[in-house]
A and B are shown apart, each in its own frame.
Chain A
Amino acid sequence: MSGAVPWNEARAQEIIDAHLGLEGPALPILHAIQEEFGYVPEAAVPQIAQSLNISRAEMHGVVSFYHDFRRAPAGRHVLKLCRAESCQSMGSEKIAKDFLERVKLEWGGTANDGSLTVEAVYCLGLCAHSPGALYDNEPIGRVDAEMLDELAAEARNS
């Protein structure tokens, strides 16, 4: 997920301003901020609030409501493993649990070397090829232990 740039208030303002013409611009702004900086920095919250003419607390409430907005940068790569019913029917829970043990991570955790963040998702629409996953937004079906180990190794080396 690399390519993120360091926090820059002027750049953030450009992004915010570019969206102000939309009806209900908050989510598009947050997505664009996260796309640019890799997460939604604390400093961005009051800045967006001010531009949208809402309170800082209100904006905070928006950011914290959605699972996808990060409050801190993720690892260089992000692996999202599906935990919903269809994937469970194909043994996803055990595959994920064993993998997390092998890489010594908890759900939502990032490896010490910053290579990989592992997150839970609930359905990726890959349910005919369960278990499903997304690795840096690339879909993967029929996930198994070997594939996950390969991805973790690739993440460490890139």
Chain B
Amino acid sequence: MNELTTVEKVTITLRVNGEERAVSVEPRWLLSDVLRHELGLVGTHVSCEQGVCGSCTVLMDGQPTRSCLQFAIQAAGSDIVTIEGVTHGEGLTPLQRAFAEHHALQCGFCTPGMVLTAQALLDKDPNPDEESIREALSGNICRCTGYQSIVDAVMAAARTTQSRVEED
């Protein structure tokens, strides 16, 4: 196929952060690029585009997946959550607060993927041990903070959420 030929776009509806968004896409457009360039959700970061770094991680029906390794056209019909959808309105979740309190970020490039993956873990297992946290986050690379403070933040968030559940 000649790459200069005009490509037929398809209009799809993506359910992102609880909102239905109609968007016109080429089949080859990656979900990561459509989130960023078409929907303006630039909290989804992109770096390696080969599934290795984890910075583009989003939740699809509650499960962490790589938005750089799926086409947007495939995501119609799924419930997508990006970092913008983690908090409703202003403010931070207990997990995000724990990241801030435990110095779990510096440049912040890896943070959206880290937070979404950790949030999915806590939703699945509210009281994970350190090993499960390390295993869950092993697919997310951080190049500046060091992993210990990130693991500490997730453990602290698990404790706060736990104590809150017990109080209720």
A and B physically associate = no
